[in-house]
A = this chain, B = another copy of it.
Amino acid sequence: MKTYHDCIPCFVRQSLEASRLVTGDKSLHERVLRDMLKKISEMDLDQPPPLMGREIHRKIRELTGSDDPYSVVKAEYNAFALGMYDEMKNRVKKSKDPFATAMRLAVAGNIIDFGVASDLDKSYVRRVIEDSLTGPLHGDPDHLEQAARKARHILYLGDNAGEILFDRILIEELPADRVVFAVRGGPVINDATMEDADAVGLSELVEVIDNGTDLPGTFLPECSDKFLRQFEKADLVISKGQGNYETLSGSGAEDKVVFLFKVKCEVVASDTHCEKGTAVALPGNVAGGKE
Contacts and interface: CB of A to CB of B under 8 A. Distances in A.
A93 interface: no
A5 interface: yes
Contacts of A29: 5
A9 B26 CA distance: 16
Contacts of A12: 8-9, 12, 37
Given A41-B38, A42-B34, A16 B9 contact: yes
A5 B34 contact: no
Q: How large is the interface on A (under 10, 10 to 19, 20 to 34, 35 or more residues)?
A: 20 to 34
Nearest to A40: B37
A40 B35 CA distance: 11
Interface string A23-41: 0001001100111011011
A121 interface: no
A20 to B, nearest CB: 8
B41 A37 contact: yes
Nearest to A38: B41
Contacts of A45: 30
B5 A9 contact: no
Nearest to A26: B5
Nearest to A45: B30
A122 interface: no
A30 B46 CA distance: 12
Contacts of A9: 9-10, 12-13, 16
A33 B43 CA distance: 11
A6 interface: yes
A25 to B, nearest CB: 12
Interface in A1-15: 5-6, 8-10, 12-13
A13 B10 CA distance: 8
A53 B12 CA distance: 17
A282 to B, nearest CB: 26
Nearest to A15: B9
27 contacts: A5-B16, A5-B26, A5-B29, A5-B30, A5-B33, A6-B16, A8-B12, A8-B16, A8-B33, A8-B37, A9-B9, A9-B10, A9-B12, A9-B16, A12-B37, A30-B45, A33-B41, A34-B41, A34-B42, A35-B41, A37-B37, A37-B38, A37-B40, A37-B41, A38-B38, A38-B41, A41-B41
6 smallest CB-CB distances across A and B, nearest first, come from: A37-B41, A9-B13, A9-B12, A38-B41, A12-B12, A37-B37
Given A6-B16, A35-B41, A41-B41, 9 more contacts: A5-B26, A9-B9, A9-B13, A12-B12, A30-B45, A34-B41, A34-B42, A37-B38, A37-B40
